[in-house]
Amino acid sequence: MRVIVHLPGLLRSDADGAAHVPVEVDGPVALRGVLDALVARHPGLDRRIRDERGLLRRYVNVFVDEDECRTIGGLDAPVHDGADVRLLPSVAGG
Amino acid sequence: MGGVMTYLLIIGTRKGLFTARSEDRRSWEVLGPHRLDENDDAGMSPVYTVGIDPHTHRLLVGTESWHFGPSVWHSDDLGRTWTEPGTAPIAFPEDTDASLVRAWQFAFGPEPGTVYAGVEPHALFRSTDGGDHFTLVRSLWDHPHRAEWFPGAGGAAIHTVLPGVLGSGERFPEAITVAMPTGGVYQSSDDGESWAPTNRGISAGFLPDPEPEFGQCVHKVTVAPDGSFYAQNHHGVYRSASPATEGWRPIETGLPTDFGFAIVAHPHRAESAFNFPVVSQEVHLPPENRLRAYRTDDSGESWRAIDAGLPEEPYFGIVLRDAACTDGAEVPGFYFGTRNGDVYALTDDEERWHRVVAHLPDVLCVRAAEV
């Protein structure tokens, strides 16, 4: 199955400048598998979005279509063929 | 000494990195915030620790991006350009089930290329390539006491790393002294293979046993040129010629308070040090609402205020644990920054502070060197 991962401007330098990264994965798959496939292509993205334990960083939001992943199972959230996965920096800073 | 020396002061703030250069340590050219990354993400992050490698003059900067986590940047041209390694410079191994919150301290070993990083959560990392990549010092991570170290108000971190010293006259490359809240001082004499707490004499008023073997909330330890130590504790200022054999003795008499964060030893006179008192654990403000440094020249037997050149009006910004330093020069300069974003410098031949810069974001750390 094919999923499109949309990257915010802040992360594109870690993905050769790409705003959208098509990811091919064997389905059915959870969000974790999509991110694994994404960082396999662009390893520099991994530490930006997940810590060493594989947990999503607190102020990185990941939407599967319209749903922020934490509301639908986090990294175990199901992702369907053709889904749009959007990485967005949350509201943070000071 | 011939030629004109240039002094570099690097200043980590709540919002980015600044540098200052001077030839006379009176007037300073201040640059910043430095653009570490083109996105102004890391460059606008809090900078909790900075370091200047004495062997190479490489600058190391520990950042913590609000969104994308901690990292370590370096510059090999005194701050003109910046590099972040392609893989995470500091990362906990998978089996530790831990993740880096931030680096709190860089320290440089006697061997060129050896850099230590004290980090949160409580751990020590070591690099042998000048800070591109660090490896966890397992023996300290596996120490049976670690489960009983709990966070101080600032976090659970190793904030002091002093390579090559165990006490007066005990300098050798295999020695390492670290300090942390809460845990206190630990020392290794075998290149980090084993560690022992060396806190005897330091109080822990927040614990049922006020003088435990470990568990003290030591705020900062600084090493004197003979290898002896000064420590600013969570209430209590201490001196030790040899923590393991002699323990620590209180030296706060003469200071307005025994609380504070920063303490800086003179680089050439073991009996001299600067302290930056704070009212108490409840009141993190300067005593009498006046910005003052205090100096001892008799190993803590007495202290005097050094406030010439500092604001005379009420002042409410304190000096954090790594926001004071010396450049180690032949006539040493001493520096401190405050949470109000003001940075001051003093040279040892004049008891007067000179303002380096004002109104920066709150200053978290400073380091200086002749370059």
Three-state secondary structure of B67-135: CCEEEEEEECCCCCCCECCCCCCCCCCHHHCCCCCEEEEEEECCCCCCEEEEEECCEEEEECCCCCCCE
DSSP character for B360? P
Rounded-to-integer distance, Cα B351 and Cα B249, Å: 27
Q: Cis bond leading into A28, ω under 30°?
A: yes
Contact between A52 and B100 using a beta-carbon 8 Å cutoff? yes
Distance CA A83, CA A19 (A): 16
Q: Is the pLDDT of residue B91 over 80?
A: yes
| Topology (CATH) of A2-89 | Ubiquitin-like (UB roll) (3.10.20)
Domain B7-370 grouped into CATH 2.130.10.10: yes
Q: Go through B311-347 and write b for each residue having 16 or more CB atoms within 10 A of its CB, e for each that does not.
A: beeebebbbbbbbbbbbbbeebbbbbbbbbbbbbbbb
Q: Find out whether A61 and A8 touch, Cβ atoms under 8 Å.
A: no
| Total beta-carbon pairs less than 8 A apart between chain A and chain B | 54
From chain B, pick out residues whose CB is under 8 angstroms from the CB of A60.
67-68
Mean pLDDT of B211-230: 96
Residue B2: pLDDT band with limits 50, 70, 90: low
ipTM for the whole complex: 0.91
Nearest CA in chain B to A59: B67
**pLDDT score of B1 more than 80:** no
Q: Encode pLDDT of A83-93 as tens digits.
A: 999 999 998 77
Taking contacts as CB-CB distances below 8 angstroms, the residues of chain B near A13 are 37-39
**Residue linked to tokens 């307005």:** B256
Report the C-alpha gap between A61 and A39 in whole angstroms: 16
Shortest Cα–Cα distance, A7 to chain B (Å): 13
Taking only the tens place, the pLDDT of each residue in B278-314 is: 999 999 999 999 999 999 999 999 999 999 999 999 9
pLDDT tens track for B46-68: 999 999 999 999 999 999 999 99
pTM, two decimals, is: 0.95
Mean pLDDT (chain B) is 96
Kindly list the domain boundaries of chain A, sorted by start residue.
2-89
Q: In what order do the strands lie in the sheet with B249-250?
A: B218-223, B229-233, B237-240, B249-250
pLDDT tier, B40 (very low <50, low <70, confident <90, very high otherwise) = confident
pLDDT tens per residue, range B108-144: 999 999 999 999 999 999 999 999 999 999 999 999 9
Is the pLDDT score of B337 beyond 50?
Answer: yes
Q: Which of A12-16, B146-150, B151-155, B359-363 has the lowest mean pLDDT?
A: B151-155
